[in-house]
Amino acid sequence: MATQYILSIDQGTTGTTVSLINTKGQQKFKQNREFRQIFPKPGWVEHDPKDIWQSVTSTIKEVLLQAKVKPAQVLCIGITNQRETVMAWNRDTGEAVGNAIVWQCRRTTDNCHRLRQKGYEDKVRNLTGLVLDPYFSGTKMQWILQNNTEAKKLSKKGKLCFGTVDSFLIWKLTGGKVHATDVSNASRTLLMDLSTLSYEPSLLKLFQVSQESLPEIKDSMGLFGKTDKVPGLGSGIPITGVVGDQQSALFGQLCFKKGEAKMTYGTGSFLLMNTANQKIISKKGLLTTVAWKGCKDKKATYALEGGAFVCGAAVQWLRDNLGLISSSTEIEKLARKVKDCGGVQFIPAFAGLGAPYWDPKVRGTMTGLTRGSEKAHLARATLEAMALQNVDIVETMKKEARANLAKVRVDGGASANNLLMQMQANFLGSEVVRPKFIETTSLGAALMAGVGHGVWSSLSELKKLDQVDGTFKPDMTTKERRLRLAQWHQAIRGAQMIYQ
């Protein structure tokens, strides 16, 4: 009998990765394709939905061809996605109404400020676990309705579909038969009540979004629909796992118990801690989110989350904008040429500061430059910034969850950088554990789809799949750590003063 696979679609901010993962939880084949990033104005970020769909279908074809796998060998499909990015399309034709507004986009900063001034911050936080920030989907939908004439007309006729990327892909994969999302993605919209796991009418009214335009909220594991004439894939393959990318990485890291945490290094960096069935509403700038909900679970699993908007994107900036390196993997070798940053401080706030600061006005700053500053100093300062911004999140999380976090699991492309991982362990004062398979976002979606399809019957069965590549232990003194953190926080305060 031919080997059977789970097809995992990881639709990210800069590209799409499609993987074939066998029933032992092993990735056998993968393909990635990048697509255009569109920057219409300073602080604005868009994607063309056609580019996203093309990247998905072409990558599916490529991976099946490369693996010599027939569509009949695909058991089921898992989808994971960039989360807060919003798309709008015509319910009748399936045609997109304008470009997608990407999670990094800051165009709704003024709207968020007005809502905060009117006193809605606490209401939104208590219901959704989120903050009033341009990052999230609700204000993006509101902006589209206020500024896109076609969307406004379609909404009045009941023919507008809003969705995050998962909803768009489900719609396209099922030939427009299913308009659905899962609880983890819905929990990022500013529109879902964390307690009821349903859209909250008062929030829909606040953001002027009609419920009929929104996707049905489903459990993360279970049947969402089946493919319908998908190029290269055909019809009848069930979609049985859907989850936001950071929650997917938490699941892929097998962090199923309360207090277990992971850190993902992607375009941004994100730390999530499993809080089981407990919703911890942060008072210090963290987010409360739904991690997942299984088809057999009575309650959702929740997580505390903190994210920095720019992580791997800072390395891309050094590569593409400054030309300091020709490939992202070169940064470790360059940074190792110097023993420290030479006084250079880099705050990579290209899209504002995320948790725990939530300051959308701050922009990237670099200080401490002298005639002696070299490319290597900038490279090392970039890696240190990537690690230091995560420390702020971890320290806040430890206080609010009353957890020790002596160990943090890591994944994502930059986790392959040994220098960065050692920096992270040093600045955290905690062990950093890296699995053999660092693309746990793709793995998480596949494992969820497998559970939803019955390939695995329990989470304890998945625990047997764990394999560790390496553990990084702190080798910095407490005094050295405190001094470096003090310098970092001074640089943060300086950047905030500049952009008041």
Mean pLDDT for back-to-back runs of 10 residues, the chain (500 residues): 90 93 90 92 93 95 93 96 95 94 92 94 93 92 95 93 97 96 97 96 96 96 95 94 94 90 87 91 88 85 90 91 91 95 93 84 92 95 95 89 85 91 95 88 94 90 84 94 94 90
For residue 147, give the amino acid letter: N
User: Does some domain include residue 380?
Assistant: no
Counted domains in the chain? 1
**Full strand arrangement of the beta sheet holding 86-90:** 46-47, 100-101, 86-90, 160-164
**Full strand arrangement of the beta sheet holding 407-411:** 287-292, 301-308, 269-274, 261-265, 407-411, 431-435, 468-472
User: Does some domain include residue 155?
Assistant: yes
Q: How many CB atoms lie within 10 A of CB 8?
A: 32
Q: How many CB atoms lie within 10 A of CB 140?
A: 29
Predicted local confidence at residue 491, as pLDDT: 93
pLDDT digits (tens, 9 = 90+) for 242-282: 999 999 999 999 999 888 899 988 888 889 999 999 899 88
Note down the domain range covering 82: 5-253
Residues β-bridged to residue 182:
218
User: Does some domain include residue 282?
Assistant: no
Question: Alpha-carbon distance 357 to 285, whole Å?
Answer: 6
User: Does some domain include residue 178?
Assistant: yes
Predicted local confidence at residue 369, as pLDDT: 94
Residues 6 or more apart whose CB falls under 8 angstroms from that of 155 comprise 145, 210, 213
Question: Alpha-carbon distance 12 to 311, whole Å?
Answer: 14
**Tokens 């903050």, located at residue:** 131
- Please choose, from the candidates 100, 413, 121, 402, the residue with its C-alpha nearest in 3D space to the C-alpha of residue 249: 413
User: Does some domain include residue 147?
Assistant: yes
Predicted local confidence at residue 99, as pLDDT: 97
User: Does some domain include residue 296?
Assistant: no
Predicted local confidence at residue 295, as pLDDT: 66
User: Does some domain include residue 332?
Assistant: no
H/E element holding 170? helix 165-173
CATH of the domain at 238: 3.30.420.40
User: Does some domain include residue 408?
Assistant: no
